[in-house]
A and B are shown apart, each in its own frame.
Chain A
Amino acid sequence: MNTITTVSRPRWLSIVGLLGVVGMGFTVWLGLWVTPPDAVQGNLARLLYIHPPIATVALYWAGGVALAGSLLYLWPRTRSIFWDRLAASAVEVGAVFSALTCVTGSIWGRPAWGVWWAWDARLTSTALLLLLELGYLALRRVPADPAVRARRCAVAALLVAVDVPIVHFSVDWWQTLHQTGTVLDPGFHLHVHGSMAWTFLLGFISFSLIFVWLLAVRYRIEVIQDTVGDQEMEVSLADRWSEGSELVGIGSTSHQEPDGGAP
């Protein structure tokens, strides 16, 4: 069983979190004050220093960890509660970033496209990703045996993961309002240069580090929750056993023979 010692705070986690926050600060500084306005979009392009990194975390990092964790849980040889907890943590953090992807994209879309929202393939599949993640989190709250819950959630995470390539390729498969690759095209040719490119890169790294930090913290909460749940379950079972033995004791004494048979 997990104990409090297994959820102690590792030093590397604090360093990752600190680097993420510092990187984020530099991204904001470079994005808002140092980089020049875009030739076409003007200052609006500054939103793109955070929107694609947030979408990257939501789609590839969170989706990838959830998929890997769930597959490794479902695979009998690698089945471990660790993978279930990791996938659950990734989905929750991913849901936050998916929601932010929709919101920041919408804020950019209003002045750029003239609408807050359009039912195009990229936006719709991203909204679907968020709904699937919320569904996963709802499913996780349904009371069940831990093994049953883990198996159900692993299957649900596979459904979440199915949507990830759809979101990624939506701009290639369908004619969409959303532009194709923002930073790299399918031939891996860079579209951004100079200080804009460095700010983009820093944004990607910073949000990725923050994702790792959030994932680790969320994972630790999952461990503690399970530990408390186990502890309460054991106490509850012990109480039941105790009450049961007392009742059996009372029952057997009430049926004692007049000659005083042992209970």
Chain B
Amino acid sequence: MSYVDAGYTIALGTVFLYAIGLGLRRRRWERALKVAKDTEEPVVPGTRS
């Protein structure tokens, strides 16, 4: 592999993997948000028994 090929592969591969990683992180946090919303609604302090 030449230096040029290595440079292009590393640069584009890293950007691609970072983008995929961001997509996965976003999905994980969206699921966490959904779970947080579904499991328990926030309550006004003192109103729960």
Contacts and interface: CB of A to CB of B under 8 A. Distances in A.
Contacts of A31: 8
B10 A221 contact: no
A262 interface: no
A232 B25 contact: no
B30 to A, nearest CB: 6
A54 B37 CA distance: 40
Nearest to A49: B8
Interface residues of B, number: 33
Contacts of B11: 50, 54, 100, 103-104
Contacts of B25: 221
A96 B11 CA distance: 10
Contacts of B45: 237-238, 241-242
A224 B29 contact: yes
Interface in A216-256: 217-218, 220-221, 224-225, 227-228, 231-232, 234-235, 237-238, 241-242, 245-246
Given A221-B29, A237-B45, A104 B37 contact: no
Interface stretch (A105-113, A132-140, A149-157, A177-185): A105-113
Interface residues of A, number: 43
Interface string B13-27: 011001100110110
Nearest to A231: B36
Contacts of A19: none
Contact of B33 (A24, A217, A228, A246): A228
Interface stretch (A40-48, A65-73, A118-126, A166-174): A40-48
A31, A107, A235, most chain B CB atoms within 10 A: A107
Contacts of B34: 4
Contacts of A241: 45-46, 48
Given A28-B12, A241-B45, A245-B46, A232 B3 contact: no
Contacts of A246: 49
A221 B22 contact: yes
A-B pairs, 10 with minimum CB distance: A241-B45, A234-B42, A224-B29, A231-B36, A107-B7, A242-B48, A47-B7, A238-B43, A217-B22, A46-B4
24 contacts: A4-B30, A4-B34, A32-B8, A43-B2, A46-B4, A47-B7, A107-B3, A107-B6, A218-B22, A220-B26, A221-B22, A221-B25, A221-B29, A225-B29, A227-B33, A228-B29, A228-B36, A231-B37, A231-B42, A232-B36, A238-B42, A241-B45, A241-B46, A246-B49
Given A210-B19, A217-B23, A231-B37, 11 more contacts: A28-B12, A50-B8, A54-B11, A103-B11, A214-B18, A228-B36, A234-B42, A235-B39, A238-B44, A241-B45, A242-B49
